[in-house]
Amino acid sequence: MQQSIGKYRWTICGLVFFATTINYLDRSVISLLKSTLSKEFTWNETDYANIVVAFQLCYAVGLLGAGRLIDKLGTKIGYGLATALWSVAAIAHAAATSTFGFFVARGALGITEAGNFPAAIKTVAEWFPKKERALATGIFNSGANIGAILAPLTVPFIVVIWGWQWAFILTGLTGFIWLILWLLVYEVPGKHKKLSQAEYEYIHSDEDESSSTGNSDSIKLSWAQLLGYRQTWAFAVGKFLTDPVWWFYLFWLPDFLEKQYGLTNTQIALPVALAYTMATIGSIVGGWLPMYFIKKGWTVFRARKTAMVIYACCALPVVSAQYLGSINMWLAVLIIGLAMSAHQAWSANIYTTVSDLFPKTAVASVTGIGGMFGALGGILIAKTAGNLFDYYKADGHIETGYLIMFLVCSVAYVIAWIIMQLLVPKMKRIVA
pLDDT in tens, 213-229: 344 555 677 777 888 88
pTM equals 0.75
Percent of the chain whose predicted confidence (pLDDT) is above 90 = 29
Listed in sequence order, the DSSP H helices in 315-395 are 321-325, 329-357, 360-394
Query: How far is the CA of 71 from the CAs of 75, 135, 191, 237, in angstroms?
Result: 7, 23, 17, 22
pLDDT at 312: 96
At 395, is the pLDDT very low, low, confident or very high (cuts 50, 70, 90)? Answer: low
At 385, is the pLDDT very low, low, confident or very high (cuts 50, 70, 90)? Answer: confident
What is d(CA 432, CA 430) in angstroms, rounded to the nearest whole number? Answer: 6
Q: Looking at this protein, which amino acid is placed at residue 157?
A: F
Residue 138 class from Cβ within 10 Å (0-12 exposed, 13-18 middle, 19+ buried)?
buried
Whether residue 429 is predicted with pLDDT greater than 80 in this model: the reply is no
* Model pLDDT for residues 108-145, shown as the tens digit of each residue: 999 999 889 889 988 988 888 887 887 888 888 888 77
> What is the average per-residue pLDDT within 329-342?
92
At 78, is the pLDDT very low, low, confident or very high (cuts 50, 70, 90)? Answer: very high
Specify the higher pLDDT residue, 296 or 310.
310
* Model pLDDT for residues 338-383, shown as the tens digit of each residue: 999 999 999 888 988 887 878 777 777 888 888 889 988 988 888 8
Closest by Cα among 314, 315, 322 to 256: 322
At 2, is the pLDDT very low, low, confident or very high (cuts 50, 70, 90)? Answer: very low
Whether residue 278 is predicted with pLDDT greater than 80 in this model: the reply is yes
Closest by Cα among 113, 112, 135, 133 to 122: 133
Report long-range pairs for 71-75 (Cβ below 8 Å, ≥24 apart): 71/122, 71/361, 71/362, 71/363, 71/364, 71/365, 74/188, 75/119, 75/122, 75/123, 75/126, 75/186, 75/188
> What is the average per-residue pLDDT within 175-179?
94
Q: Which architecture, in CATH terms, is 2-188+225-423?
A: Up-down Bundle (1.20)
Whether residue 212 is predicted with pLDDT greater than 50 in this model: the reply is no
- Helices 329-357, 360-394: crossing angle, 10 deg rounding: 150
Whether residue 403 is predicted with pLDDT greater than 90 in this model: the reply is no
pLDDT at 169: 92
What is d(CA 146, CA 165) in angstroms, rounded to the nearest whole number? Answer: 22
195: left (phi over 0), alpha (psi -120 to 50) or beta: beta
pLDDT at 127: 86
What is d(CA 134, CA 304) in angstroms, rounded to the nearest whole number? Answer: 9
Compute the CA torsion angle 175, 95, 101, 18 (nearest 10 deg): 10
- CB neighbours of 387 closer than 8 A, spacing ≥ 6? 46, 49
* Residue pair 119/79 in contact by the 8 Å Cβ criterion: yes
What is d(CA 190, CA 198) in angstroms, rounded to the nearest whole number? Answer: 12
Q: Looking at this protein, which amino acid is placed at residue 338?
A: L
Closest by Cα among 139, 176, 169 to 154: 169
pLDDT at 342: 95
Specify the higher pLDDT residue, 421 or 34.
421
* Model pLDDT for residues 148-171, shown as the tens digit of each residue: 778 878 888 888 889 888 999 998
* Residue pair 60/376 in contact by the 8 Å Cβ criterion: yes
Whether residue 19 is predicted with pLDDT greater than 90 in this model: the reply is yes
What is d(CA 108, CA 243) in angstroms, rounded to the nearest whole number? Answer: 20
* Residue pair 394/193 in contact by the 8 Å Cβ criterion: no
Query: How far is the CA of 61 from the CAs of 57, 65, 355, in angstroms?
Result: 6, 7, 22
Percent of the chain whose predicted confidence (pLDDT) is above 70 = 93
Average pLDDT taken over every residue of the chain = 84
Exposure on the CB side of residue 303, measured as CA atoms within 13 A: 26
Q: Looking at this protein, which amino acid is placed at residue 290?
A: P
Is residue 185 helix, strand or coil?
helix
Specify the higher pLDDT residue, 379 or 415.
415
Q: Return the DSSP state at 98.
A: S
- Out of 2-11, 54-63, 80-89, 348-357, least confident range: 2-11
pLDDT at 397: 65
What is d(CA 304, CA 346) in angstroms, rounded to the nearest whole number? Answer: 10
pLDDT at 111: 92
Whether residue 190 is predicted with pLDDT greater than 90 in this model: the reply is no
pLDDT at 83: 94
pLDDT at 265: 66
